[in-house]
Chain A
Amino acid sequence: MRTSSTNIQTDTNLKQTNMHSTSGSGIFIISILLVTCTSLVAQPGLIIYTDAGMNNVSDGLFIKAAALGYYKFGKNRVEAGFESSLNNNNDILLSGYTINASRNLAGKGLPLELQGFCTWTRNSEFLRETNWGALLKMRLNGLEMKIGTNFRTYAFRNRVVDEYGIDRDAVRIHENFNVMYSFGYYLKKADDKWNAGLSVTNIDCFMINQETNPSLCLHGFCKPGSQVCLYAESWYKTSGATNLAINHFGFYFRTGIIWNFN
Chain B
Amino acid sequence: MELQLKIRLLLLTAISLMIASCEKDTIFPQEEHSANQRFRQSMDWNELHPYQDIVTSSDDYAILFMGDSHIGSTKNLISFVNTAKTSNAAAIVMAGDLTTGEKEDCDKLETCLPPSSSLLSFLTVGNHDLWPGNGWNEFYNRFGASVYLFTVKTTGGTDLFISLDTGSGTLGAEQLAWFEDVLQNQRPDYRRCIVFTHNNFFRFRHTETDNPPVEELNKLIELFTRHHVDMLVAGHDHKRDAVVFGITTYVVMEPCKDGADNAGYLALRVKNGEIKYCFENFD
CB within 8 Å of B: which residues of A? 1-11, 13-18, 55-59, 123-127, 129, 154, 156, 160, 164-167, 169-171, 173, 175-178, 187-188, 196-198, 207-210, 212-213, 216, 218, 234, 236-237, 239-251
Contact = CB atoms under 8 A, between A and B. Distances in A.
Given A3-B280, A243-B127, 16 more contacts: A2-B283, A15-B243, A57-B215, A58-B215, A156-B246, A160-B246, A166-B246, A170-B244, A170-B245, A210-B210, A213-B169, A243-B167, A244-B127, A245-B33, A247-B168, A247-B169
B28 A56 contact: no
Contacts of B282: 1
Main secondary structure of the interface of B (DSSP, over half): mixed
B277 interface: yes
A175 B245 CA distance: 12
Contacts of A13: 242
A127 B168 contact: no
B219 interface: yes
B112 interface: no
A164 B247 contact: yes
A4 B280 contact: yes
Interface in B252-281: 264, 269, 274-281
Interface string B200-218: 0011111011111111111
Contacts of A208: 214
Contacts of A4: 264, 279-281
Contacts of A55: 215
Contact of B225 (A156, A197, A245): A156
Contact of A239 (B83, B210, B226): B210
B14 A218 contact: yes
B176 interface: yes
A153 B40 CA distance: 35
A247 B204 contact: no
A229 B16 CA distance: 26
Nearest to B25: A248
A4 B206 CA distance: 24
A127 B210 contact: no
B218 A124 contact: yes
A247 B210 contact: no
Interface residues on B, range: 35 or more
Nearest to A4: B281
Contacts of A237: 213
A234 B18 contact: yes
16 contacts: A4-B279, A10-B244, A16-B243, A18-B204, A56-B170, A124-B221, A126-B218, A127-B221, A129-B214, A166-B246, A175-B202, A175-B204, A210-B203, A213-B214, A241-B169, A247-B28
Interface stretch (B2-10, B66-74, B103-111, B155-163): B2-10
A11 B245 CA distance: 9
Given A9-B276, A57-B215, A247-B35, A1 B210 contact: no
Contact of B218 (A2, A129, A210, A218): A129
Contacts of A243: 127, 167-169, 199, 209-210
A13 B279 CA distance: 12
Contacts of B214: 123, 129, 207-210, 213
Nearest to A17: B204
Contacts of B242: 8, 13-14
A1 to B, nearest CB: 6
B138 to A, nearest CB: 14
Contacts of A213: 169, 210-211, 213-214
Q: With a 10 A CB-CB cut-off, give which of B131, B213, B279 has the most chain A CB atoms.
A: B213
Contact of B249 (A3, A10, A176, A188): A10
A248 B131 CA distance: 17
A164 B13 contact: no
A178 B202 CA distance: 11
B172 A56 contact: yes
A212 B243 CA distance: 22
B283 A1 contact: yes
A215 B16 CA distance: 14
B185 to A, nearest CB: 17
Contacts of B127: 240, 243-245
Kindly list the 10 A-B residue pairs having the minimum CB-CB distance in the complex, ordered from nearest: A240-B169, A212-B210, A239-B169, A247-B168, A251-B21, A239-B170, A248-B24, A243-B127, A124-B218, A123-B218
A173 B173 contact: no
Given A178-B203, A234-B18, A1 B245 contact: no
A164 B210 CA distance: 29
B128 A244 contact: yes
Contacts of B173: 56-57, 59
